[in-house]
Structures are given as C-alpha cells and as structure tokens.
Amino acid sequence: MKKKVEVFTVTKNRRINQEYLILHVASETSLPEILPGQFVEIKVENGPNTFLRRPISIHEVDNDKNEILLLIQEVGEGTRLMAELKPGDKLDMIYPLGNQFSIPNKGNVLLVGGGVGVAPLLMLGRFLKANGATPHFLLGARSENILMDLTDYKKIGDVGVTTEDGSLGVKGFVTDHPLMKEGLANMDLVCTCGPDPMMRAVAAAAKSANIKCEVSLENMMACGFGACLCCVVDTKEGNKCTCTEGPVFDINELKGW
C-alpha cells in the first residue's frame, strides 16, 4: 500500500467523555484501502514540545464521506492540541501505516481492548463480521464515565465490559471477565490492544489456553514508516520495526511474551 502525506480537514470533533474524543477528518479524494490495525502519524501544529508526529490508530473509515475517524485520549500536549481542533481546521497526516490484524472467515474472535486501546477494534469487528467470523468485544476501563459509547459495538457483536471500580459490568480487569475465563475455550483467535500489562495478561491467558493471539504494540516512534529504527521490538528473528512489520504481532513471534 502506498503511503502518503496529506492534509485532511476536520469535519467533526465529538467528545465522548472527559478524556476521550473522536475526530472525523475528511480527505478531498477517495481514500486508499485502509485495514484494521493500521495507523496514521499526525503532525501537531503549534506545539513547542510536540516536535515529532504522533501515532494514532485508525478507529474507523467512512468511505462514503472519505472520512477517517480517530479515537483520541488526552494524555499530553499533542493529544490536547488535537482535542482542541474544530471543524474546518487542517490536520497533516502520513497514512496508511503499519500492518493489520488477521481477518479469518469463520470462528469466534475475541477482541480485547483496554482504555484507548479499543481504538482499532471497532473497525476490526466490522471486517471480521463481513468476512464471516463472529466478533466478541471485551472492553475494559477504569470506570464507567470514561468508557466508550457501546452502541456501535453492540451492532456488530456481543459486548463484555469490565471496570476497575465496578461502576459497570464486571468489577476488575479484562482478565477477570467470564469471556477471558470459561469463554476463552470457545475462541479461535484473540486480538488485543491496550496498556502493556493488560496485553501481557491477555496474551498469557490465550497462550495457556493454546489460542492464537495477536497484540497491537504502542512502541515510541520517531518516523512511523521504517526509516529511523527507533521503534523496534525484540522478536525471535531479531529486532523488528513496530511501525512497518507491526504494530500487530502474533505473540509467538515476540520474545518474552
């Protein structure tokens, strides 16, 4: 897939809760093929401390409107500046970057997202369903008030929820949910994205249940397209670039997982 630098126009900035928002950005031309798990590199304008671009997953694609949707969590200056964008503002992005999750045409696939790690899973669920597989979502958050709006997810598959404070769904971490316990045996594939400790716990559970597991890594990136070699992860075949050979890896490829 050819990568390009393009200036998008913000069409909508939708607040989801105090930490999360969804940005809709439109291209003037029709979008190239974009696959679940791929990401963009955003140039943050006007930030004295935002010298490098910021990698953000592609949350959804609306091919009718030539729009890319980005789910953003405000964690620092760059993401705060993105949160301030208004319709009409410009956003300079390099895309589409990275590889993709597997999309089998049958079987049960568990999609486990923690925090902003849910970002690529909605589109992945849509692709899985369209291809003939059955997606099951398991979403974890600290508390109900920072959880995603679940409406779109429920249209695609069943949705399990865990919150650390017990305000919604099962109290605890994603690994405390029945879908990760009794339910796991029914799964043919587990795809996960979220904080490192969560992905490691999910991967460990999948491994002991002997189920194929793919993780989406969020290594620190300087370029996002394979030129700097800053984003490497230790694999059984030596260092690999998270930005070009990932961000999605089968846990069996990775060392120490």
Partner 1 sequence: MVNLAVDINGYSLKNPVMTASGTFGFGEEYEDFINIDDLGGIVVKGTTLHHREGNAYPRMAETPAGMLNAVGLQNKGVDYFINNIYPRIKHYNTGIFVNVSGSAIEDYVETAEKLNDLENIPGIELNISCPNVKEGGMSFGVHCPSAVAVTEAVRKVYKKHLMVKLSPNVTDVTEIAKGVEGAGADSVSLINTLLGMAINAEKRRPELSTITGGLSGPCIKPVALRMVWQVYNAVKVPIIGMGGIMNATDAIEFMLAGATAIQVGTANFIDPTITVKIVDGIKDYMNRHSITDVNNLIGGMIVD
Which parts of this chain interact with ligand FAD (CB under 6 A)? 39, 50, 54-57, 71-73, 75-79, 116, 119, 218-221, 247
CB of 237 to ligand FES, least distance (A): 16
Q: What single-letter amino acid sits at 189?
A: L
Asked if 52 is part of the footprint of ligand FMN (rule: CB under 6 A), the reply reads no
In whole angstroms, give the CA distance from residue 109 to residue 190: 6
In the chain, the N- to C-terminal Cα span, in Å, equals 29
Given partner 1, ligand FAD, ligand FES, none, residue 238, with its beta carbon under 5 to 8 Å by kind, binds partner 1
Given partner 1, ligand FMN, ligand FAD, none, residue 3, with its beta carbon under 5 to 8 Å by kind, binds partner 1
Please report where in the chains the tokens 């120490």 appear, as a residue: 256
User: Please, which residue, 20 or 95, has the CB nearer to partner 1?
Assistant: 95
Asked if 228 is part of the footprint of ligand FMN (rule: CB under 6 A), the reply reads yes
Q: CB-based burial of residue 98 (10 Å sphere; 0-12 exposed, 13-18 middle, 19+ buried)? A: buried
Which parts of this chain interact with ligand FES (CB under 6 A)? 221-224, 226-231, 241-243
Nearest to 49 by CA among 70, 22, 77: 77
Q: CB-based burial of residue 172 (10 Å sphere; 0-12 exposed, 13-18 middle, 19+ buried)? A: middle
Given partner 1, ligand FAD, ligand FES, none, residue 17, with its beta carbon under 5 to 8 Å by kind, binds none
User: Please, which residue, 3 or 207, has the CB nearer to partner 1?
Assistant: 3
Contact predicate 173/195, CB 8 Å: no
Show the site string, 51-90: x = touches partner 1 by CB under 8 A, - = not: xxx-------------------------------------
Nearest to 139 by CA among 105, 102, 104, 168: 168
Binding interface with partner 1 (CB under 8 A):
2-5, 43, 48-53, 94, 219-234, 238-239
